[in-house]
Homo-oligomer: A and B are copies of this chain.
Amino acid sequence: MRLSEPGVLSRAARALMTTEREGVADFDENRLAAIVDLYVRTGIQVHSPGYMGRQFSGTVPLAGVIDFVSSVVNQPSTYYEAGQLPAMAERIMADELNRFIGWDPGGFAMVTTSGGSLANLTALLAARNRAHPGIWARGEPGGRGRPAIAVGADVHYSVTRAAGVLGIGETQIVRLPVDAQGRIAVRLVPELLAAAERRGLQVFCLVASAGTTALGAFDPIDELAAITARRGIWLHVDGAHGASLLVSDALRHKLRGIDRADSLTWDAHKMLFVPAPCTLLFYRDARDAPGAFRRSTASYVSDEEPDAHCEFDSGDRNLECTKRPMIMPLWTLWAMYGRVLFAEKIEHLCRMTQDAHAILIDEPDFEALHRPEANILCFRYRPAGVAEERLHRLQLRIRKEVRLAGRFFISKVDVQGAAALRVVLMNHQIGPGHFRDLLAEIRGTGDRLLRDGGLD
């Protein structure tokens, strides 16, 4: 039986628990070793070159050392009096990274949040509160139309979901079509926004992606900013995956125009290789940051007589009250190694993905679905003679079989309505040979499924 089967794993885990019921069990180092062993052996193996599946990665190991310290000193980072170095490290990293965004160093703000989904929600909330303050106060928008947001068709699900959470309503989402590369088709946007307005919607926020989850596509921020500025619409950029390209001189151009955005979500736990979560939410105008939560805290955490320390408190700017000092691994790595560590790894990963694409297009039984812009590549296994209607199911089953075989871990995604295979290259130790081996495994798996009737 496989350890990855829930029933087997459950029994293995329960067998490791003390049966002492009356007192406190003695420390048992064998028990601890067995727990750690079970942890390391199960789940995804992010440090393996066969892992090409998702946007989290093997971390720089030193990050784990700092997380150990964080867990023992246990200084939440929401209030300066509790977590002083984390508060300072947030300020320093905000300054360091804003050099690549390009906002006024004295005028912007950054808060850390527990993941990109929460950052996107927080930015939308700040935008909503600016445009429709009546929703916070009375649950009524007021204003000149029904509150609405516009998003790229490939935007992350956390953004469309936020419309449901925040009381905007999913039907008030204006979806902007994307081109073949997965980027918002900018030329259609002005007319779509005008049409939405005619339908009685007041689009207060446009969300662009840098890059998208499916294809790693970068929406044209510069051109979108020109449109949103003209119409007084908040431009939020979900750069959870791709904002890290800003630290590379060679790749920064992918986010051209980011200095004109109003807010930016940036997951350091994706392309800056620190443990999850470590999300940074940037606002161009620092005054927008407390707008998300309308400064609504309480006497047990806020000071009636603010001093120089309060400036570093973030409780009125993030949803969390007690918040992990998630910045510490990132700042420590940045302090120890400098920017170039990150830039070189990101550039290498993006280059490898181009190489993988080149390998792929030389294989006649594979179909590349786009030219990769970052380190995400989507494709299909499409041998000659397979009926179109079976291709969707074929990809799904290949993905699953490959995962269960255990040598490789890849993901899948719907591209233009049909399933595709997806690799995300996060490990610099992956070489062309590993990718060729993956294609061979996919081919072998696919052919077996087709031959043995495994699709039915």
Contact = CB atoms under 8 A, between A and B. Distances in A.
B337 A43 contact: no
Contacts of A73: 39-40, 43, 46
Counting every copy of the chain, the complex holds: 2
A136 interface: yes
Contacts of A64: 68-69, 71-72
A182 interface: no
A308 interface: yes
A88 B43 CA distance: 11
A340 B20 contact: yes
A389 interface: no
Contacts of A118: 114, 118, 319-320
B164 A293 contact: yes
A20 B342 CA distance: 13
Contact of A137 (B170, B275, B411, B414): B170
A84 B43 contact: yes
Contacts of A83: 43-44
A100 interface: no
A9 interface: yes
A214 interface: yes
Contacts of A5: 308
Nearest to A3: B84
B92 A277 contact: no
B74 A335 contact: no
Contact of A114 (B23, B136, B169, B277): B277
A149 B411 CA distance: 42
Contacts of A165: 125, 136, 165-166, 293, 319
A88 B147 contact: no
A338 B84 contact: no
11 contacts: A13-B335, A20-B337, A21-B339, A22-B340, A42-B85, A81-B403, A115-B322, A117-B319, A136-B165, A156-B321, A170-B296
Given A39-B85, A139-B141, 6 more contacts: A24-B340, A39-B66, A46-B74, A121-B319, A139-B171, A157-B321
